[in-house]
Amino acid sequence: MTRTTVRNTAIIFLVAAIAAGTGTLAAQTLNSGLRGATPLNDEGPASPMPQTRNTAERETRNYPEQPPVIPHSIDGYQIDINGNKCLSCHARARTAESQAPMVSITHFMDRDGQFLASVSPRRFFCTECHVPQNVVTPPVSNDFVDIDTLLSRASPGGRR
Amino acid sequence: MTATDKPEARPGALRRVWNFALELLDVLLRPSSIFGLGILVLAGFVAGVIFWGGFNTALELTNSEKFCTSCHEMRDNVFAELKTTIHFSNRSGVRASCPDCHVPHNWTDKIARKMQASKEVWGHLFGYIDNRDKFTDKRLELALHEWARFKANDSLECRNCHSAQSMDITKQSPRAAVAHERYLFTGEKTCIDCHKGIAHHLPDMRGVPGWQ
pLDDT at B1 over 60: no
Do B168 and B187 fall into the same domain?
yes
* B172 Cβ contact list (under 8 Å, min separation 6): B180
pLDDT of amino acid A36: 75
Structural domain containing residue B84: 78-212
Q: What is the mean pLDDT of residues B136-158?
A: 93
- Is B8 within the bounds of a domain? no
Which residue, A136, A160, A135, is CA-closest to A146?
A160
Confidence of residue A15 (pLDDT cuts 50, 70, 90): confident
Residue of B142, B144, B151, B158 lying closest to B96 (CA atoms): B158
Residue A5 has pLDDT above 60, yes or no: yes
Query: How do residues B170-212 score in pLDDT, each as one tens digit?
Result: 999 999 999 999 999 999 999 999 999 999 999 999 989 888 7
- Compute the average pLDDT of residues B20-35: 90
pTM across the whole model: 0.76
In a domain, B20, yes or no: no
Domain ranges for chain A, please list them. Answer: 1-46, 79-151
CATH 3.40.309.10 fits A79-151, yes or no: no
What mean pLDDT do residues B29-48 have?
A: 91
Mutate to test the interface with A, among B175, B188, B200 (most CBs of A within 10 A): B175
Residue A32 has pLDDT above 70, yes or no: no
CB contact under 8 A, A98 and B179: yes
- What local confidence, expressed as pLDDT, does residue A26 receive? 54
Q: How confident is the model at residue B100 (pLDDT cuts 50, 70, 90)?
A: very high
- The pLDDT value given to residue B16: 93
Taking the C-alpha atoms of residue A66 and residue A64, their distance in angstroms, rounded to an integer, is 6
Calculate the average pLDDT of chain A: 84
B156 within a domain of the structure (yes/no): yes
Burial A86-113 (b: 16+ CB within 10 A, else e): bbbbbbeebeebbebeebeeebbbeeee
- Measured between CA atoms, how close is B42 to chain A, in angstroms? 57
pLDDT of residue B104: 87
Same domain for B49 and B107, yes or no, is no
Q: What domain count does chain B have?
A: 2
- pLDDT band at residue A84 using 50, 70 and 90 as cut-offs: very high
Q: CA of A88: which chain B residue's CA is closest? A: B211
Give the range among A18-32, A93-107, B17-31, B73-87 with minimum mean pLDDT: A18-32
Where residue B198 falls (left for φ over 0; alpha for ψ -120 to 50; beta otherwise) is: alpha
b or e along B85-106 (b: 16 or more beta carbons within 10 Å of the residue's beta carbon)?
Answer: bebeeeeeeeebbbbbbbbbee
Partners of B185 in the beta sheet? none
Q: Quick one: B97 and B189 in the same domain?
A: yes
DSSP string, B141-164: HHHHHHHHHHHHTTSHHHHTT--S
The predicted model gives A130-145 an average pLDDT of 89
pLDDT band at residue B166, thresholds of 50, 70 and 90? very high
Residue A18, pLDDT score: 74
Does position B143 have pLDDT exceeding 90, yes or no?
yes
Q: Give residue A101's pLDDT.
A: 94
- Contact B144/A at CB under 8 A: no
Single-letter residue type at A100: A
Which is more confidently placed, A10 or B160?
B160
> Is there a contact between B85 and A118 if contact means CB atoms under 8 Å apart?
no
Q: What is the pLDDT of residues A36-74, one digit of tens each?
A: 778 888 888 888 889 999 999 999 999 999 999 999 999
Contacts of A95 in chain B (CB under 8 A): none
Same structural domain for residues B100 and B167? yes
Closest CA in chain B for residue A82: B204
Beta-bridge partners for A115 = A109
Looking at the fold, whether B192 and B97 belong to one and the same domain comes out as yes
Q: Would you call A83 and B198 a contact, using CB atoms and an 8 Å cutoff?
A: no
* pLDDT higher than 60, residue B6: no
**Quick one: which of B82, B98, B113, B91 has its CA closest to B197?**
B82
- Same-domain status, B90 and B177: yes
- Above 60 in pLDDT, residue A160? no
What contacts A10, CB < 8 A, 6 or more positions away? none
Asked if B86's CB is within 8 angstroms of A82's CB, the reply is no
What pLDDT is recorded for position A25? 55
